[in-house]
Structure 1
Amino acid sequence: MNTADYLKHDAVGLAKAVASKEVTATELAKTAIEIIETLNPTINAVICKDYERALEAASRPADGPLAGVPFLLKDVYLYTEGMPTTWGSRYLKGSKPRPDSTMVQQWRRAGLTILGKTNAPEFAAEFVTEPLAYGKTINPWNAGLTVGGSSGGAAAAVASGMVPLAHATDLGGSIRIPAACCGLYGFKPTAGLNSSGPYFKEIAHGLNSDHVLTRSVRDSAASLDVTAESGRDAGNYLGKLYNDPGKLRIVATVHAADGTMAGANQVAAVEHAVAILRDLGHDVVLRDKSPLTAVGDWFDLLWIDDIAPLLAEQAKECGFDPRTDELEPMTWAALHILRDAGEGAVADALRLRAETAKAHLALFEQFDVLLTPSLASDPGPLGTLGFSDLGSMNKWAEAGYSFAPFSILANVSGQPAASLPLPMAAHEVPVGVQIMAAPHRDLLILQLSRQIEASVNWAESISGTGIPCMRPCLGQTGPPDDVCLTVPSFLTARSSSRG
């Protein structure tokens, strides 16, 4: 299988090619490595490489449902045999590898070939992926724009064609925000559906969910079949994906909880999605007034509450506390907030979280699905949304939550939600729209996503010859193997923007 053929397949397609002996797992791994080595010096998506171990694993017989498919892990939350998990931090660059986390074990058993780890902001705590430890990750669609965060390295790797799917995490939108910035499908499962074990019982009081970023809905379903060991549809998400979900009651809004209206491109994308859904036979109500419940400052205290014990554990393992210059200003600011919060502040935050979730979930007693923009505006320039760019926690929170006000509620209430890329004629990058359902209705979100995917055929925009990093190469003459292995000129010309 040459590079051009590799890029035309999603993960399920590549696994079928391996199973039918059309290609070997080793050949796929070598192709992925070649693409990574060509594009990564510019894109900076992959920050740790484990090629030798990956090729050795690929050479062994495997019969898992995703056998032979190249894969990358995010550099936070999940530990990996043979590779350190540095949490995007200079302080932890020398940390020791640990035995595989539960989900890593599951992905290995499924036959995925793990090639390395992707870039992420320190402790996954930013809306962008520009850590001081590893530098900025570049958006494959436009080298001047953010990839979002915190799963920005994973998004850039999938969008550029390095791998068809990659591990991502979502604590406040960290799967869905990069998906929207990079024209991908990003599904956040119901809280607890995928395991955080054995190192964590839950992350950030249950706000976080681990899953993957993909170019196709079926790849997301296939990965969930591997990792979701409980739930009403466990092991059968892909098998039921093409079933008709029936006529759904859908409420749509383009207004954030505070009434602020999303940008023109985002409004147009939601209106386009409403038309698609009505054509599919669903009952859609577009609300002028936002039906969303506001989330208060207490939310930040819950994710910050995870950082202090994590650092204490790492300091014990490292044998020394972090120096001032080993942690980013964002992390120090977060720790100061926790220190100054006072006794009982976290308990109060948990109470407010429960009240907010109850109020928000009442909407789903009347409707099956909530439709919103994924973001309130287009992806912004590099170097504008990070804590270091803004200088204070208040300015950072205001800018970040103004950029991505729609994702956070799914984490507060533990709901499944997905960002879907809608190709728009007047917009280079597909514009993300978000759908959300009640907890444990993961299959419904996947089935509705699949219906929309089939209606707009977004694969033409984000896979195969549509992969953005590869487009400038496709007009070349020469053998197919050369088609996509030159860094495109539009990235090379702006590579100096990397930090």
Structure 2
Amino acid sequence: MVTMITLDDYLSHDAVGLAALVARHEVSAAELVAAAIARAQEVEPQLNAIATPLYEAARTRAGRQFSGPFAGVPFAIKDLNHAVAGVPLTHGSRAFASHIPRANGELVDRYLAAGLIPIATTASSEFGLSVTTESALYGATRNPWNRMLSAGGSSGGSAALVAAGVIPAAHATDGGGSIRIPAAACGLFGLKPSRGRTPAGTIRTEGWSGLAAAHVVSRSVRDSAALLDATHGAPFGARIAEPEYGGSFAHAATRDPRPLRIAIQRRPFAGPQPHPDCLRAIDDAAALCVALGHGVEETQPDLPDLTPHLLALLAAHTAATLAARTATLGRPIGDDEIEPITAAYRAHGHAVTGLDLVAAETAFMAAAVTMAEFHRHHDLLLTPVLGRPPAPLGSVSLDATVEDYSAAMAGYSPFTAYQNVTGQPAMSVPLHWSDTDVPIGVQFVARFGEEALLFSLAGQLERTRPWFDRRPALLEVMP
């Protein structure tokens, strides 16, 4: 018999658990969608995480007959590169505010085939360029743990909704850390898959020349693993095939790994020393790993500062994206229609040469070789996710001078982009909170194609030190 689900009951289940309730006819998809929408309407005024509500479409879909491993589970799609037919795909930019795609992106189709029900698209920074989620189009997305702080970026809208209990998991993308950073800032689990593991967007098989990946942020490890089981596989026409894995990621998450050799990286390859809270977080994670029987050694790969090469690549892509939009609109896109840092990226992109891009690709390939050699001797690399605790709103936004933005970025996010360069899988695990009850995530990096090993360790860590029921006390009404 179907019964109404209470908020406490809804919050006590992850996506796998909610799907099981629907499959056993203990609750209906319509009731789950109603619970998610009610929660969204309660917290959205305080978080500003939603780009476009899809409430009526979700209610309609919940009333249909459908199947899949996540049948009936509420979900959300990030408003960046992954199209939902008939819904604005703005990429967080005023220049794309009128862009409404006619067809779903491939990954969105895979989510729908798995039975998920999108209730919203979620806020992103413009073109995913920032490590916070603040845009002139939608405003700033707030962190449920502290509304004066950023929820991280560029998947901050997805992370804020999951952390606030609106949905158990949400789509996210990662071109330089944009799954792992908001997961770290919001106390969630977030895994960036290996290059080629999942579709990278709509009408393209690679994002940012292969740097970008797509998956989810979630409260539980098993949701992330089971969602990857349901959606992995390179898109049609891909030049980069997914790393083969014949097993189940969800099964991997249930078994403890063999004793692992884990390296600890305390210093970034460029930029200032991390904040003491971030170093305490990795020291705490290392101690936990030792207690679980793993070997830990403080060492790190020898990689150069790749920031100039990353800047050249992202600037060229930004300039190309805006040039294509200009052609579609039939008019120039002024600097007043994009963020100040985006405008600077565009200007720099027009000055980037073919030789610059070849130099960047050459440096990235060399970095991948260096990391592969490093992993001959170390199964995993443990680093901070961020160099600082979650940032105050406005401190690392695209609405800044180039000088201020560059200085803020150098200290705030010096670790995560290297795995986008090499294509390796990496995860943010919520093992640590600061003395002020702010989440501080830690990052584990594995060899290319070894998501199963990451899920195995993540499951072991989650069973040893559970975090699922640790949630922000949401939330007083904003004055």
Question: TM-score normalized by structure 2?
Answer: 0.94
1:405 match? 414
User: Unaligned regions of 5+ residues in structure 1, if any?
Assistant: 462-466, 471-487, 494-499
* Pairs within 5 Å for 1:356-375: 356-375=367-386
2:250 match? 238
Asked if structure 2 preserves the Cα contact closer than 8 Å seen for 1:106 and 1:227, the reply is yes
1:3 match? 7
Alpha carbons of structure 1 residues 356 and 290: separation in structure 2 relative to 1, 3 Å: closer
Alpha carbons of structure 1 residues 170 and 410: separation in structure 2 relative to 1, 3 Å: same
Query: How far off is 1:325 after superposition?
Result: 1.7
Match among 121, 125, 128 for residue 129 of structure 2: 125
> Mean Cα displacement is larger for which, 260-269 or 49-58?
260-269
Alpha carbons of structure 1 residues 220 and 247: separation in structure 2 relative to 1, 3 Å: same
* Pairs within 5 Å for 1:185-334: 185-196=189-200, 199-229=203-233, 230-233=242-245, 236-258=248-270, 260-287=272-299, 293-334=304-345
> Mean Cα displacement is larger for which, 168-177 or 234-243?
234-243
Match among 443, 454, 472 for residue 452 of structure 2: 443
Say if 2:479 is the partner of 1:468. Answer: no
> Residue 127 of structure 1: SS of its match in structure 2?
coil
Asked if structure 1 preserves the Cα contact closer than 8 Å seen for 2:316 and 2:348, the reply is no
Asked if structure 2 preserves the Cα contact closer than 8 Å seen for 1:253 and 1:291, the reply is no
Kindly provide the amino acid, as one letter, of the partner of residue 439 in structure 1. F
1:172 match? 176
Alpha carbons of structure 1 residues 424 and 138: separation in structure 2 relative to 1, 3 Å: closer
Asked if structure 2 preserves the Cα contact closer than 8 Å seen for 1:84 and 1:98, the reply is no
> Residue 443 of structure 2: SS of its match in structure 1?
strand
Asked if structure 2 preserves the Cα contact closer than 8 Å seen for 1:377 and 1:403, the reply is yes
Asked if structure 1 preserves the Cα contact closer than 8 Å seen for 2:189 and 2:221, the reply is yes
Kindly provide the amino acid, as one letter, of the partner of residue 123 in structure 2. N
1-side partners of 2:275 and 2:335: how far apart? 39
Query: How far off is 1:346 after superposition?
Result: 1.2
2-side partners of 1:401 and 1:419: how far apart? 19
Asked if structure 2 preserves the Cα contact closer than 8 Å seen for 1:224 and 1:235, the reply is no
Query: How far off is 1:290 after superposition?
Result: 7.1
2-side partners of 1:178 and 1:186: how far apart? 8
Alpha carbons of structure 1 residues 360 and 349: separation in structure 2 relative to 1, 3 Å: same
Match among 71, 75, 88 for residue 71 of structure 1: 75
> Residue 348 of structure 1: SS of its match in structure 2?
helix
Question: 1:75-123 deviations in whole A, cap 9, x for unaligned?
Answer: 1010111211011011211112230111000000000001111111111
Asked if structure 2 preserves the Cα contact closer than 8 Å seen for 1:374 and 1:434, the reply is yes
Question: 1:376-430 deviations in whole A, cap 9, x for unaligned?
Answer: 11112111111323x11x4323321321111111111000000111144734023
Question: 1:330-356 deviations in whole A, cap 9, x for unaligned?
Answer: 221101111122342112211122122
Alpha carbons of structure 1 residues 469 and 233: separation in structure 2 relative to 1, 3 Å: farther
2-side partners of 1:198 and 1:343: how far apart? 25
What's the Cα RMSD here? 1.7
Query: How far off is 1:304 after superposition?
Result: 2.3
Question: TM-score normalized by structure 1?
Answer: 0.90
Say if 2:464 is the partner of 1:455. Answer: yes
Query: How far off is 1:240 after superposition?
Result: 2.7
Kindly provide the amino acid, as one letter, of the partner of residue 266 in structure 2. V
Query: How far off is 1:198 after superposition?
Result: 5.1
Alpha carbons of structure 1 residues 263 and 52: separation in structure 2 relative to 1, 3 Å: same
1:94 match? 98
Say if 2:29 is the partner of 1:25. Answer: yes
User: Unaligned regions of 5+ residues in structure 2, if any?
Assistant: 234-241
1:476 match? none
Tell which has more relative contact order, 1 or 2 (C-alpha 8 A, sep 6+). 1
2-side partners of 1:313 and 1:263: how far apart? 41
Q: After the TM superposition, list the runs of 4 or more consecutive aligned residues in structure 1 that deviate by more than 4 angstroms.
A: 289-293
1-side partners of 2:291 and 2:447: how far apart? 23
Alpha carbons of structure 1 residues 234 and 112: separation in structure 2 relative to 1, 3 Å: farther
2-side partners of 1:220 and 1:200: how far apart? 24
Asked if structure 2 preserves the Cα contact closer than 8 Å seen for 1:242 and 1:450, the reply is yes
> Residue 297 of structure 1: SS of its match in structure 2?
helix
> Residue 142 of structure 2: SS of its match in structure 1?
coil
| Count of aligned pairs | 467
Question: 1:40-99 deviations in whole A, cap 9, x for unaligned?
Answer: 112100020111111111111222001111111111010111211011011211112230
Say if 2:167 is the partner of 1:159. Answer: no
